[in-house]
Amino acid sequence: MLTGSLRGVLAAGLLFLCACSLGTSPPERFFTLASEPASAAPASADTAAYLVVVGPVTIPEIVDRPQLVTSAGANRVEIAEQARWAAPLKSEIPRVIADHLARQLEGARTATSDERGAGAPDYRVIVDVQRFDSSAAGATIQASWAIRMKEGLAPLTGRSVVAEPAGAGFDALVAAHSRALTRVSSDIADAIRASLGSAGAPPAADVRR
């Protein structure tokens, strides 16, 4: 037969275990922006006709954090502690844009400004992301970009505003942001292709979708 003191110890232990169980946080999930698989091998340093370097990229401070940030109203956001970026957005965004440009620009080799030893770029793409919004409606990216070329050529400038619908859940939301970046990359690629066939720069582009 258990004594009163032993029963008290066992009861306290059970209460402690229950408290620990109830206090356990759900596991963290990590997300990454995706680029579509390349249909062909990217150009190497030996075969590439020109080099495109992406970066630096600036992003709003409100999303410059490990957690995903979603809009919960006109004046309120929610920070998802259990939904996090696997790498900082400042490095994820240029990586995805560089991957897309490598596929969309024939003869181009691409790199990000964080990669050492890439070489002197023929085109440097600088991106200022003014909006990287996540909501129940989907993903919205608004970005101004500038493409600096070799000395003597005027820079190309443009602005892309892209909205992509998303289904329920963070997986669908991150996929929508990946699709939006694909469309921003297409705008940048179009500007670079236009410059390849002209001595000067085309007029600034303001693309809304």
0.85 surpassed by pTM:
no
Q: Which amino acid is at 72?
A: A
Beta-carbon contacts of residue 45 (< 8 Å; ≥ 6 apart): 109, 119
- 153, pLDDT greater than 60: yes
Query: Is 145:127 a contact under the CB 8 Å cutoff?
Result: yes
Percent of the chain with pLDDT over 70: 77
Residue 159 pLDDT level (bands cut at 50, 70, 90): very high
Residue 7 pLDDT level (bands cut at 50, 70, 90): low
Beta-carbon contacts of residue 40 (< 8 Å; ≥ 6 apart): 103
Q: Which of 114, 102, 113, 116 is nearest to 35 (CA)?
A: 102
- Tell me which CATH homologous superfamily contains domain 29-208: ABC-type transport auxiliary lipoprotein component (3.40.50.10610)
Q: What is the mean pLDDT of residues 68-87?
A: 94
Name the least confident of 12-16, 89-93, 175-179: 12-16
Pairing of strands 205-208, 156-165: parallel
* Per-residue model confidence (pLDDT) at position 205: 52
Phi, psi dihedral angles at 6 (to 5 degrees): -70, -40
Residue 4 pLDDT level (bands cut at 50, 70, 90): low
- 154, pLDDT greater than 90: no
Please list the residues that pair with 77 across neighbouring strands.
71
